[in-house]
Structure 1
Amino acid sequence: MTPDQKELVTATVSTLKEHGVLLTTHFYRRMFEHNPELKNVFNMGNQQNGKQQMALALAVLAYAEHIEDPSVLVPAVTKIGHKHVSLDIRPEHYAIVGRHLIASIAEVLGEAATPALLDAWATAYGELASLMSGLESGLYQKAVNQEGGWTGWRPFTVKRKVEESAEITSFYLYPTDGGKVADYLPGQYVSLRLFLPELNLFQPRQYSLSSAPNGEYYRISVKKEAGSQHPDGLISNRLHDFVPEGGIVELGAPAGDFTLDVTKPTPVVLVSGGVGQTPLLSMLDYLVTSGSKREVVWVHGSRNPRVHAFREPVAALAARHEQVQHHVFYDTPATGSDEAEAGHYAGFVDLRKLNGGTLMPEADYYVCGPAPFIRKQVQDLAALGVPRESIHFEEFGPATLSV
């Protein structure tokens, strides 16, 4: 980009701050009208609840704000690249998106969208698309180069369904072709795709892998959204209610950058809320089954024991391995002995209650759960003196969280 083009893009920052969601909402409406086939690629639940529009608005704004040095956006770009690879996004999709994005800028800004401004944004988008395509090409190549790897959508058979709590069921997924499955880093996810007759669309969703890599199957643990007919819960509920043992689903290859650093010897603190424990279960399982001697602190928050998935397996694992500490918080503990058990607490997860509020400054902290939960835990860790580079978190869905 020329200096003049960068200046033009930068000049749109104030407009994007004020009208960014209006722009992205118009963009998605326009793109789906002209290219309805892309509804099979995008999560239509996130279209209805506005999360995707907000996430894109924030991404466009961030790119405009850092047009002089886009390298600061590498972590965000990497996260998006993993998501795109899991959904089988290809360079041709960028061409479609770019066409509708530039047209939307022209239509929303009206006379303010001068030819020079549109040309500047077209150039900026082209550079970003090239960067993303290059990153994703490397991820695709890495996926196919390992044993059991693939790209695109691969059919898997649900061989087992195991109820883990009143809300969460685990699905054990084996390749329908009988082949191996690719290894993955603890914390990664897979995209799962089903056809929804009520929408007449294929719909993808991402689910964290909830066990250590084993080369034979993948396990996902899915929360059922009770009474939900909103697209947000349609795939999860369909898995629970309409996909039996022996049923077929399609998966993208494992992806994601919220992963356990398996090369470090430092202690690990795993902090989760609700179904946010799923990627952390994979990390815990890996640390134990690999024979690691790293100290592990497991902290989990749940509404009550009835909906607490993996309650007994994690407790038993902690009892067998002295390097694993086990702490559980219940919003509303059951009457009886649960509140009195060692490592059990009433109320929301409060890391200051552990070990008298003294945490391990040398540890790595992995946090996953709803956005308010993540925000609170990250803020509490920072207040307790934990370095920001030691705090890692994963937000399910489009990235809209800033902490």
Structure 2
Amino acid sequence: MTTEQKQLVTATVPVLREHGVLLTTHFYQRMFTHNPELKHVFNMGNQQNGKQQTALAMAVLAYAEHIENPAVLMPVVNSIGHKHTSLDIRPEHYAIVGKHLLASIAEVLGDAATPELLDAWAAAYQQLAAIMSGHEQHLYAAQVSKNAGWTGWKPFLVKQKIKESAEITSFYLYPADGGAVADFVPGQYISLRLFLPELNLLQPRQYSISCAPNGAYYRISVKRETGASHPDGMISNRLHHHIGEGDVVELSAPAGTFTLNKNTARPKVFISGGVGQTPLMAMLEALLNKQVVTPITWVHGCRSEAVHAFKDRLHELAGAYSHLNHHIFYDQPEIPTKHTGRVDLSEIKTTVLQPDADYYICGPAPFISKHYGFLVENGVDTTAIHFEEFGPASLQLNN
């Protein structure tokens, strides 16, 4: 890109701050109108609830703000790249997206979209596409270099379907060809794809792997969405109501950057809300399997005992491992309990705040923001706090 082109892109930052979601909403509508086959690739639930439009608007704004030095965005590029490889995004998809993004800029900005501005954004997009697709090719290569690794979609057999609570059910997924499963890092997710008759579409969804690596299967633990009549809950509910033992589903290879720190000697504090505990269960089991005696603090919150998945498993582990300390908060406890209400780290401050600990938070965005803020206010370095927000990213707490 020329200096003049970078200046033109930078000049659009105020517009993107104010009207970014308007632009991305127009873009998605345009793209799905002209390329409806991409509806099989994108999560249409996130289209309906507006999360994807917001996430893209934030990403475009961040890129424009850092056009002089896009290398600072590599952590974000890496995270998005993992999501893209889990959805089998390929270079040809970038060409389609670029065409519709540039057309949307012209259509939304009208006369303000001068030929020079459109040329600048075309160059900027080509630069971004080259960065993204190049990084994703490295991720694809890393996947296939693993034992039993693959790219794209692979059939898996549901061998066990186990109810973990009133709302959450676990699915044990084995390769349909009877082979081994590719290894993964605790905290990663897989994409699962099903055909939805209601939409006449294939639809992918990401689910955290909720067990430690074992060489035989992946386990996902899925929450049933009560009353969900829109695409956001359709895959989860279809798994609960229509997919049983013996059925086949399609999976992409494990991906994700919210992973367990390999330095297992540091104390670990896991903080989760609701189904957000699933990636943390994989981390917890992996740590305990290593038999490394490091302090582990488990903090979890949900409505009641009835919806508390892995409750018995946690008590079993806590009884077997003296270095595992756990605190459970119930909004509506069925019997008197030590912690009532939402998770409040100030109640267990002396237990949670530990020197040199790694903190892992997973749950809804407000849950993450609340506990991230508490930790920072109490002197925890932001580099020690790791979090994952389910769905398209909307939090930028580490910036």
From 367, 375, 385, give the equivalent of 1:373. Answer: 367
- Counterpart of 1:98? 98
State the shift of 1:356 in Å.
3.8
Q: Deviations over 1:205-235 (max 9, x none)?
A: 0000000001110000000001211100000
> What is the CA–CA distance in structure 2 between the aligned matches of 1:324 and 1:400, rounded to whole Å?
32
> What is the CA–CA distance in structure 2 between the aligned matches of 1:315 and 1:10, rounded to whole Å?
54
> What is the CA–CA distance in structure 2 between the aligned matches of 1:355 and 1:56, rounded to whole Å?
37
| 1:83-162 paired onto structure 2 within 5 Å | 83-162=83-162
From 348, 351, 355, give the equivalent of 1:361. Answer: 355
> What is the CA–CA distance in structure 2 between the aligned matches of 1:28 and 1:224, rounded to whole Å?
28
What is the DSSP-based 3-state SS (H/G/I as helix, E as strand, rest coil) of the residue aligned with 1:212?
coil
| 1:336-355 paired onto structure 2 within 5 Å | 336=336, 339=337, 344-354=338-348
- Alignment partner of 1:396 is 2:394: no
Amino acid of the structure 1 residue aligned with 2:382: R
> What is the CA–CA distance in structure 2 between the aligned matches of 1:254 and 1:17, rounded to whole Å?
34
- Counterpart of 2:73? 73
Tell me which stretches of 4 or more aligned residues in structure 1 moved more than 6 Å. none
- Alignment partner of 1:382 is 2:386: no
Structure 1, 355-364 or 259-268: larger mean CA deviation: 355-364
- Counterpart of 1:271? 271
Unaligned runs of 5+ residues in structure 2 are: none
> What is the CA–CA distance in structure 2 between the aligned matches of 1:383 and 1:148, rounded to whole Å?
45
What is the DSSP-based 3-state SS (H/G/I as helix, E as strand, rest coil) of the residue aligned with 1:23?
helix
> What is the CA–CA distance in structure 1 between the aligned matches of 2:138 and 2:396, rounded to whole Å?
28
- Counterpart of 2:171? 171
State the shift of 1:294 in Å.
1.9
State the shift of 1:357 in Å.
6.5
- Counterpart of 2:34? 34
State the shift of 1:319 in Å.
1.2
Structure 1, 205-214 or 69-78: larger mean CA deviation: 69-78
> What is the CA–CA distance in structure 2 between the aligned matches of 1:123 and 1:255, rounded to whole Å?
30
> What is the CA–CA distance in structure 2 between the aligned matches of 1:355 and 1:401, rounded to whole Å?
24
What is the DSSP-based 3-state SS (H/G/I as helix, E as strand, rest coil) of the residue aligned with 1:72?
helix
Structure 1, 373-382 or 288-297: larger mean CA deviation: 288-297
> What is the CA–CA distance in structure 2 between the aligned matches of 1:138 and 1:292, rounded to whole Å?
32
> What is the CA–CA distance in structure 2 between the aligned matches of 1:335 and 1:270, rounded to whole Å?
24
Amino acid of the structure 1 residue aligned with 2:144: V
State the shift of 1:335 in Å.
2.6
What is the DSSP-based 3-state SS (H/G/I as helix, E as strand, rest coil) of the residue aligned with 2:334?
coil
State the shift of 1:264 in Å.
4.2
CA RMSD, 1 decimal = 1.0
Amino acid of the structure 1 residue aligned with 2:100: H
> What is the CA–CA distance in structure 2 between the aligned matches of 1:277 and 1:74, rounded to whole Å?
27
Q: Deviations over 1:106-161 (max 9, x none)?
A: 01101100111111101111111101111110110010011010000000010000
> What is the CA–CA distance in structure 2 between the aligned matches of 1:314 and 1:335, rounded to whole Å?
18
Q: Percent identity?
A: 65
Amino acid of the structure 2 residue aligned with 1:174: Y
State the shift of 1:315 in Å.
1.4
Given that residues 81 and 132 in structure 1 are in contact (C-alpha distance below 8 angstroms), is that contact kept between their aligned partners in structure 2?
yes
> What is the CA–CA distance in structure 2 between the aligned matches of 1:264 and 1:329, rounded to whole Å?
26
